[in-house]
Amino acid sequence: MHNRSYIKKIIFDSLIGILLFVYFPFHFNFKISNLIIVFLITFISDNIDVKWKNHNRLVSNVPGFLIAYLYGPQYIFAASLITLFRLNEINSLRRIRKFLVYFFMYYSSYVIVNFFDLNIYTKLFLYISLSKIINSLMVDIKTFGIKLFIIEYIFFIASLPSIYLYLLSQNIIVKYYFLFQNLLFLGIYYFITKYIYEKEEEEIKNKRLNRFNAIMLEFSNLLYSYSIKASKEFILKEAAKFLNEKFGYKYILISEFDYEKDLIKRVSYSGFSSEEFKKLKARKVKASEIINEVFKDNYRYGEVYFIPNIAERLDKNDYFYLNKI
């Protein structure tokens, strides 16, 4: 279903790209030195994985396409082709869609800007601004966020000064320095966004830990009040119910680890039906597999594990997938 949706987008983007080329054609004549520069800067910048909040990947290949704009429309096409060879592990359909999106956003911006009789500095500014707007319309329209748009647009705009200085410089060595300067800036931008994310993540972890400690204090008082007069099964049942209500999780599953038999025994639950819990109990799950796969040091924070959603990496036949029960 996902591939079918991608194929539809690819067909639509291809038709737009073909119409754009038919009505605004360009010649495939390249200067080798210019092509090498566009290749190097586009390839390097496109493979610097700048992310906002460690989730949304920003468009990092702007430095290459700014230079391609100066050299001519055929270089915008060449730069778009270079993005097909991004080193990330993405499938062929995604690579083709990215190529089409980049070609359309940058080349259509080039076409629109060149309708106006403006100086090159204003044209570059309009080119960058239009490219970002078109990118958001094509890719982010359903999940548009003004904060993410501004963060990415700032990077687009911040790439302009180096190109302006390149145009103003007379010395060939200085000119080439300014061409590659944006790669240094991109590296700085990468570390800034990484630092912001890590700082916010640390604050979130501290808030979660404080809330966790408060709940666990209440939880320990509950266990103490039941420990004298209630059975183990009753205490665990109340514990599952308490955790379900306090943490707001849809499902709570309490298990015991039998290290001698290397098995996990399901002992209590909340949020499941009794039939679902019986099926979960019937499964034989090795304790060592969950410990090795889930309880890792990089998920540990103090004495607590904040385990991310790793469901896609787990064996659906062994763990707790309700749609497979």
Both tokens of 72, joined, read 């001519």
DSSP 252: E
DSSP 141: G
Structure-token match 């997938």, residue found: 321
- Give 106's pLDDT tier (boundaries 50, 70, 90): very high
| Contacts for 26-34: CB closer than 8 Å, 24+ residues apart | 26/72, 26/73, 26/74, 26/77, 27/74, 28/74, 28/77, 29/74, 30/74, 30/75, 30/78, 31/71, 34/71, 34/75
- Give 43's pLDDT tier (boundaries 50, 70, 90): very high
Q: How far is CA 139 from CA 52, 98, 144, in A?
A: 16, 10, 9
Single-letter amino acid, residue 131: S
Q: In terms of pLDDT, which residue wins out, 174 or 90?
A: 174
pLDDT (0 to 100) of residue 54: 65
Lowest mean pLDDT among 41-50, 66-75, 88-97: 88-97
Pairing of strands 263-270, 304-305: unpaired
Report, as an integer, the average pLDDT of 6-21: 84
Q: How far is CA 142 from CA 47, 62, 137, 138, 251, in A?
A: 25, 23, 9, 9, 30
pLDDT above 60 (res 321): no
Report, as an integer, the average pLDDT of 308-323: 48
Report, as an integer, the average pLDDT of 97-101: 89
Q: What is the Cα–Cα distance from 276 to 284, expressed in whole angstroms?
A: 15
pLDDT (0 to 100) of residue 208: 75
pLDDT (0 to 100) of residue 304: 67
pLDDT above 80 (res 55): no
Residue 72 zone, left/alpha/beta (φ > 0; ψ -120 to 50; rest):
left
Report, as an integer, the average pLDDT of 207-223: 75
pLDDT (0 to 100) of residue 104: 92
Residues in the chain, overall count: 325
For the whole model, what pTM was predicted? 0.63
Report, as an integer, the average pLDDT of 200-204: 79
Q: In terms of pLDDT, which residue wins out, 113 or 155?
A: 113
pLDDT above 80 (res 295): no
pLDDT above 90 (res 78): yes
The tens digit of pLDDT for each residue in 119-129 reads: 999 999 999 99
